[in-house]
Structure 1
Amino acid sequence: MYRLLFAQVLRRFDAETVHHLTIRALRVLSLAPIVKRRLYNRLAPRDEALRIQAFGVHFPSPFGLAAGFDKDAACVEGLAAFGFGHVEVGTITAHAQPGNPRPRLFRLVSDRAIVNRMGFNNRGAAQAARRLRRPRSLPVVVGVNIGKTKVVPEELAVRDYATSAAKLAPLADYLVVNVSSPNTPGLRDLQSVERLRPLLEEVRRVAGRTPLLVKIAPDLADEDIDAVADLAVDLGLAGVIATNTTIGREGLSASEAAGAAEAGGLSGRPLKARSLEVLRRLRARVGDQVALVSVGGVEDVDDVWERLLAGATLVQGYTGMIYEGPLWAWRVNRGLSRRLRRHGYSSVREVVGRVGV
């Protein structure tokens, strides 16, 4: 049903307009207790075998929604009602900012991909904190992804991240330092270990007991991935999220040349191979010393299963929801439950890192 709706109607409208309408609908759902509870009871993961613990947090399923969808923590309960095991909100900056000029979000339908140059458009950490303080009627694991305010000079980036962390870490189940978006000038330069270490040290100090993760780009050289992995272990971080969008355009079809020519980060199916490659490299480097969260090109239960086998404790998706619709997480969780039973596992934890099973 959704695929027909997308093919005949939604794809004819501007991608960002559809996104904003979706957020508004989910926000209304978040405020409708009876409907929200009924959806949750029907779609949320219930299988005990799917439950998994990472960095001291209990997740009802390893499959969650990546940052970028709910930028302002506007509809976490609505998203949880549709079956996501966790919702990562953001990217949130210390100060509100409009992001880059529109148009800035483009579908590449033939490749099941999108290109975005949103530029961390959000209402700022204080507004997000007010929303996250509100009582919830549904259990939902919420991660908060923070980034650098665009107008803040790079030499003040540590202070800017720390400002966001101070407001948001106490309200988050885990906190993510995003230094890997290609849409904020100079941001990816912070991935160099020399600059990343003091940033993570200060954010960790401010975050206190809230688990801290770092999100990296797929475009890092292998030796830089190793360096970040070693840093994560050295600092005792809770985990690494791999990967963000790519500035590369490999593997795109000729029919999507116009969208591919747009500046910004590419996500979706074309990112699948590199994201998995980075995950495997991280697992080989750190083992189970830190949790690995895999994102990038995740479309279905086969992808989630492959990432778990490769060593991911948690798996996230975003672009897949655009092409698969609101029942996407429910279908993935149902598929995971069936696959666990078929292979004789009693817990998804038994699958993590079992390459070749």
Structure 2
Amino acid sequence: MAPEIAKLGHVALVSTDLEKSLVFFKEIIGLEETTEIDGVHYLRAYSDFQHHTLSIEAGENAHVKHIGWRTKTADCVLGFKELLDEQGIAVQEYPKGTTPGIGDSIRFQLPSGHTFELYNEVEKSKAASDKASILKNQVYKSWNKGISPRRFDHVNIHTTTDVDESYEFLMEVLGFNMREYVRGDDGILAGWMSVTPLVHDVAMIKKETLPTPARLHHISYWLDDTQDILRAADILKENNLPFIGPGKHGVSQAIYLYVMDPGSGCRVELFSGGYLIFEPDWEPVEWTLEERALSNTYWGDSVQDKELNNITIEAR
């Protein structure tokens, strides 16, 4: 049986101003800190069950070390290693505990140059008693501080490499499903793919020029409804942080708001609404190049027309 990825796990972020990043992610976004070990801070949203969904550490250059994905079983990690070996992909193995809260894992590069980590075993750390929810099916108190998103949702990555090769790798080797895409004169320019019922766990966008071939455009955290997005806009405005949105995407039909971490330059999308896919015979939705503006922005503040300093984070 083919190995399977269960869900998006975490992003390992390096910031050039750790203090600013921690204030942004902990106090303004409202993530909770599971622990800090050797200068690396491990954070998660109030209803993220695994040890962390974001780690942040200091570095000379802002970049993403890797993007982590949890597999369905421990055997799937071994299964993926065998598949990657067959593809001639270099695989690095890491023992349990190399990343706190994560079991045995493997890391490798996509054809795009992005580094993925696969693992199954996770530590489901409990919250400290003064922060714990009284709900047995939730980790932390909701709305405890800041914007307070419920959970980690997706990542958006960009590349200047042969994007078709990466789409094929994601689908044929890693088992992602193409849900929606934008087609140009020379093929697919943007693809939204998932291993869950979400419209996308990862989006990959082709760019003609970038400072490096593999970039992270944004990470995304989920809010329950549109009112939460409007509340987030108030909080960002009160903290003098520029943002894009609110608006609604054509792709995914989700309500969005984008803000940038002033410490690392990492974009964060606050995300709500949209739809889920349960059909086993789902046919990917095609958008043409002429419809690209609509696919990006159904209504509201345009993501295309108003970029936040046009910064993308190197993904190594």
Structure 1 length-normalised TM: 0.27
Of Structure 1 and Structure 2, which has the larger fraction of its residues in helix? 1
Structure 2 length-normalised TM: 0.29
Of Structure 1 and Structure 2, which has the larger fraction of its residues in strand? 2
